[in-house]
Amino acid sequence: MTATTSGAPAAPHLREDLLTPRFYTTEIAKAARTDLEEQRSSFEAMLSEMEADYNRDHFDRRAPLDRLHDLNPEQKGAYESYLVRSCVSEFSGFLLFKELSRQLRDAKRPELSRLFNLMARDEARHAGFLNRALVAEGIEIDLPSLSGKRPITWFPLNWVLYSVYLSEKIGYWRYILIDRHLKAHPENAFAPLFDFFEPWCQDENRHGDIFNMLIRCWPGLNSGLRGSLLSRFFLWSVFLTHSLTVCERGDFYRLLGMDPDHFDAEVMRQTNRTARRAFPRVFDLENSQFLALRDQLVDTFRRLNNSKRDQPGLAGAWTRLGLRLRFGQLLLRQFLQPMQASNEVAA
């Protein structure tokens, strides 16, 4: 269910569609019942690591974040769109973790509250850096105002645990693959913001490990039919969202000297492999039609967007209806692609 409000302030490069970053809330009272005892040693180790804040000195607030190279208008728009969506996404994570921390403290769960507060610290740090890069581009976004006027989406706790785990792990692979590429091709590193992607991805990876531990605190959440269904749905939905977002941001990845389709496929492969540590089942990406269907979905999505722009009137409406029906069929086929038990996947 979604609580909606009106009058949300416009943010450049942030139109309202299914790929727009959202703000979330969840079952706080249920989260407060999380039983840590079976995972006590892992919890203590993770809390200690978060308290140490190894990346504290890596995010230099005085570091200049201005672009180093001139970009043409299309390239500038692609870079700024990436910054805006990423900034709103990081701020969304900050708000969720901060609210969980506050309410868990009120529910007399100080250890859990502290852990979420430390994760909120990291997300705020990331959003702050992205916001500074936007200011260097002449764009200012009032994030608190934006969060107060945009819709708030409610998810059950198990959905949050699964989706945040995957978003943190897929974020890790996005940042680390971009970092590795730019270190091999420094001529494409046109902004100093990219220098922070290595410590950034370490935060994403650490947060993902924390959510893996939280999933294990709930018996049955990562096993049996329930775990299999959750694995299928969230891997599929996160991979689909990533593919369509990379399609929309293709110009940004080409600006970095990367092939968007190859980048998307490698992010999915690595995230799917990583998810074996948390989920009972993962997709068989190499021996199924999953990636081929990804190509068809992206092509149909692109044609649908082009039709909205280039084919007004009744003829365009019929074209879009056909494309939507094709898109829905492809979605179902991809969702039903074979999976394999995580403990059976070769290392």
Residue-wise pLDDT tens digits, 48-95: 999 998 887 777 777 788 898 889 999 999 999 999 989 989 999 999
Residue 64 resides in a domain: yes
State the total domains in the chain.
Answer: 1
E strands, the chain, are 2-3, 23-25, 152-154, 281-283, 339-341
Per-residue pLDDT band for 11 (boundaries 50, 70, 90) equals low
Range of the structural domain that residue 58 is part of: 1-156
Judge whether 10 and 236 are in contact, CB under 8 Å.
no
- Amino acid identity, residue 301? F
Percent of the chain's residues with pLDDT above 70: 91
Judge whether 89 and 147 are in contact, CB under 8 Å.
no
Q: Is pTM beyond 0.75 here?
A: yes
For residue range 234-252, list pLDDT tens digits in order. Answer: 999 999 999 999 998 899 9
Judge whether 22 and 151 are in contact, CB under 8 Å.
yes
When mean pLDDT is compared across 85-99, 151-165, 278-292, 308-322, the lowest value belongs to 308-322
Compute the distance between CA of residue 115 and CA of residue 100 in angstroms, rounded to an integer: 10
Residue 204 resides in a domain: no
Percent of the chain's residues with pLDDT above 90: 68
Judge whether 50 and 206 are in contact, CB under 8 Å.
yes
Residue 257 resides in a domain: no
Q: Say which residues have a Cβ less than 8 Å from residue 23's Cβ, sequence separation at least 6.
A: 92, 95, 96, 147, 150, 151, 152, 153
pLDDT of residue 72: 93
Higher pLDDT, 6 or 151: 151
Residue 152: strand pairing partners: 3, 23
Coil, strand or helix: which one is 54? coil
